[in-house]
A = this chain, B = another copy of it.
Amino acid sequence: MKIALDAMGGDFAPFEIVRGAIDAVKAFPNIEVVLVGDEARIRDVLVEFGQENNPQLIIHHASEVIEMNEHPGTAVRKKKDASVIVATRLVKQKVCDAVIAPGSTGAAVAAALFGLGRIKGIDRPMIATPIPTPQGVTVMLDSGANANCKPKHMVQGAIMGSEYARLMFGKENPTVGLLNIGEESTKGNELCLSTYPLLEQLKTIPFKGNVEGRDIPKGTVDVVVCDGFTGNVVLKLAEGLVGVMTQLVKEGIKEGGIMAKLGAFLIYPVFKKIRKRLDHTENGGAPLLGVNGVFLISHGSSKAKEILTAIKIAGELVDRKIIENIQHSIEEEGAIKYDDVD
């Protein structure tokens, strides 16, 4: 198993990215990591940890980097030797089995589409994000690859998300919901109104109808389908809300004197248990489903721990044959009549 890692991606590259790779090859003896990026800078980190001769860690030089503020489409066309492009090419050429791209989502999606193409039957790739719930995990897609979606993209997302939920989270026959603003099929924006009857006609997917915002953290269904604009707002809102609440509690304890501090100490195991219970998702990254190769997008703020996890997840996605399974489920579903509404 060989995994191509964009060692220049994200806020803490290359140091934290390389460190994550070092930890990963220790933990997973069957995995080799190809570190793609500035050879000298990557080597420096390997030397620092005495890993420059580790045969599981291979440097693959790439002279350019796509910055966060660049226009993804333009950057991908211009910077042929950018680390994320080169890493993706290694998968296309079957040198590697998967790509991990920390950092700019836009650049990652562009690089993946450009370098790997799409699975037959898929018009747009989607980012699938596992969201922790009290029962386990709900997969939400698209969480940001396509700001504008058409009904057919939503239908394809339902099929891809189901495969991902089945293979990675052990859901036998995953239920699917359409993110909407009411339960009735007559509710919603134009996209939802057109998508609902298409999802209803799917033969292989147990479509449970509309779900609402509150159903996502509750885990009402296994897979939530939405457009990439809404999905991205949902993810960032949840992140912000948890962040603000945590900050307020910390400040409150600080200002609350000795009793509050003692209370916090006594109640800490409860919060630790909740965090553990919600930590099924192992925050390493979200796969870009629908491109013709395993492609994992990691958060721009990823440090060694997240990269280690991302490498583990990428390995599992390869092992469990996510691409072949999506291909198969698209074929199994057969012709979907959506040409008239797109």
Q: Which residues of A contact B (CB under 8 A)?
A: 69, 71, 106, 133-134, 144, 147-148, 179, 181-182, 184, 186-190, 192, 212-218, 226-230, 232-245, 247-249, 252-253, 256, 259-260, 262-271, 273-274, 277-278
Question: How far, in angstroms, from A70 to B277 measured CA to CA in the complex?
Answer: 40
> Closest chain B residue to A264 by CB distance?
B267
User: A217-B244, A232-B213, A240-B218 known; A190 and B148 CB under 8 Å?
Assistant: yes
Kindly identify which residue among B179, B215, B239, B245 contacts A214, using a CB–CB cutoff of 8 Å: B239
Tell me the number of copies of this protein.
Answer: 2
B residues in contact with A238, CB < 8 Å: 213, 237, 241
Question: How far, in angstroms, from A328 to B277 measured CA to CA in the complex?
Answer: 53
B residues in contact with A230, CB < 8 Å: 229-230, 233
Give the secondary structure class of A's interface.
helix
Q: Are the CB atoms of B270 and A253 closer together than 8 Å?
A: yes
Question: How far, in angstroms, from A148 to B69 measured CA to CA in the complex?
Answer: 30
B residues in contact with A244, CB < 8 Å: 133-134, 217-218
> Closest chain B residue to A184 by CB distance?
B69
Question: How far, in angstroms, from A83 to B235 measured CA to CA in the complex?
Answer: 39
Q: Are the CB atoms of B237 and A213 closer together than 8 Å?
A: yes
**Which residue of A262, A270, A274 has the most chain B CB atoms within 10 A of its CB atom?**
A270
Question: How far, in angstroms, from A267 to B258 measured CA to CA in the complex?
Answer: 10
> Closest chain B residue to A247 by CB distance?
B134
> Closest chain B residue to A278 by CB distance?
B248
B residues in contact with A260, CB < 8 Å: 266-267, 269-270
B residues in contact with A147, CB < 8 Å: 181, 187-190, 192
